[in-house]
Amino acid sequence: MDKFVALTASGIAYGAVLAVVALGFLVLYKATGVVNFAHGDLVTLGAYLAVWTTTSLGLPTVPGYLAAIALMGLVGVAIERVAYAPLRSRPPMVVVIATLAAAIVIRGIIAVWQGSEPKTLAGPVGNRVVHIAGAAIAEQRLLITGVAAVAVLALLFVFQRTPYGRQVRALAADPEMARLTGVRTRLVAMGAFALSAMLAALAGILIAPLGAVDLNFGFGLMVTAFAAAVLGGFGSLGGVVLGALVIGLIQQLFGGYVLPDYAATFPAIVLFLVIAVRPEGLLNLTRSRL
Amino acid sequence: MLSIDGLDVRYGTTHAVRGICLEVADGEAVALLGPNGAGKTSTLRAISRLVPSTGSVVFDGQDLAKVPAENVARLGLIHVPEGRHVFGDLTVHENLQIGTTARRGRRSEFGFDEVYDLFPALVPLRGRLGFALSGGEQQMVAIGRALVAAPRLLLIDEPSLGLAPIVADAVASALVEVRSRTALLVIEQNVHLAVRVCQRAAVLSGGVVVLEAPAAQLHDRGELLASYLGQSRTGTGA
Write the burial class of residue A76 (CB in 10 Å: 0-12 exposed, 13-18 middle, 19+ buried): buried
B68 contacts A180? CB cut-off 8 A: no
Cβ within 8 Å, pair B94-A183: no
Which strands sit side by side in the sheet containing B200-205, from one edge to the other?
A: B77-80, B153-157, B183-187, B29-33, B200-205, B208-214
* Tens-digit pLDDT profile for residues A62-111: 999 999 999 999 999 999 999 888 988 888 889 889 999 999 999 999 99
Query: What integer is the mean pLDDT of A162-166?
Result: 94
Structure confidence at residue A268 (pLDDT): 82
Q: Are B150 and B109 within 8 A, CB to CB?
A: yes
Number of domains making up chain B? 1
Quote ipTM for the complex.
0.91
In chain A, which residues have their Cβ closer than 8 Å to the Cβ of B98?
163, 166-167, 170, 178, 181, 183
List the single residue in A with minimal CA-CA distance to B147: A181
Query: Is A166 within 8 Å of B94 when comparing Cβ atoms?
Result: yes
The answer to whether A180 contacts B79, with C-beta atoms less than 8 Å apart, is: yes
Confidence bin at B36 (pLDDT 50/70/90): confident
Q: Quick one: closest CA in B to A185, which residue?
A: B70
Q: Provide the pLDDT for residue A124.
A: 86
Residue B234 lies in a domain: no
> Given a cut of 80, is residue A158 above it in pLDDT?
yes
Give the mean pLDDT of chain A. Answer: 89
Residue B238 lies in a domain: no
Q: Is residue B225 part of a domain?
A: yes
Judge whether B74 lies within some domain. Answer: yes
CB contact under 8 Å between A163 and B102, yes or no, is no
Tell me if B236 is assigned to some domain: no
* Residue of B45, B95, B98, B145 to mutate for A, most A C-beta atoms under 10 A: B98
User: Which residue of A170, A173, A181 is in closest CB contact with B73?
Assistant: A181
Whether B60 is covered by a domain: the verdict is yes
Of B70, B98, B149, the CB nearest to A166: B98
The answer, for A173 touching chain B at a CB cutoff of 8 Å, is: yes
Q: Of A142, A229, A136, whose CA–CA distance to A150 is shortest?
A: A142
Can you give the pTM of this predicted structure?
A: 0.86
**Residues in chain B within 8 Å Cβ distance of A164:** none
Note the pLDDT tens digit of each residue in A204-257. Answer: 999 999 989 999 999 989 989 988 888 887 777 888 899 999 999 988 888 888
Each residue's pLDDT tens digit, A250-285: 888 888 888 878 877 887 888 888 888 777 766 654
Residue numbers of the domain that contains B188: 2-229
User: Do B101 and A176 lie within an 8 Å CB cutoff?
Assistant: no
Tell me, what CATH number does B145's domain have? 3.40.50.300
Query: Does A89 reach chain B within 8 Å, measured CB to CB?
Result: no
Give the confidence band of B131 by pLDDT, cuts at 50, 70, 90. Answer: very high
Calpha distance A15→A243 (Å, rounded) = 8
Chain A environment of B50 (Cβ under 8 Å)? 176, 179-180
In degrees and rounded to multiples of 5, residue A7 shows phi and psi of: -65, -40
Angle in degrees, CA A33, A39, A43, rounded to 5: 150
Within a domain: B77: yes
CA pair distance A102, A116, nearest whole angstrom? 19
Encode pLDDT of A36-62 as tens digits.
999 999 999 999 999 999 999 999 999
Q: How confident is the model at residue B236 (pLDDT cuts 50, 70, 90)?
A: very low
Residue B119 lies in a domain: yes
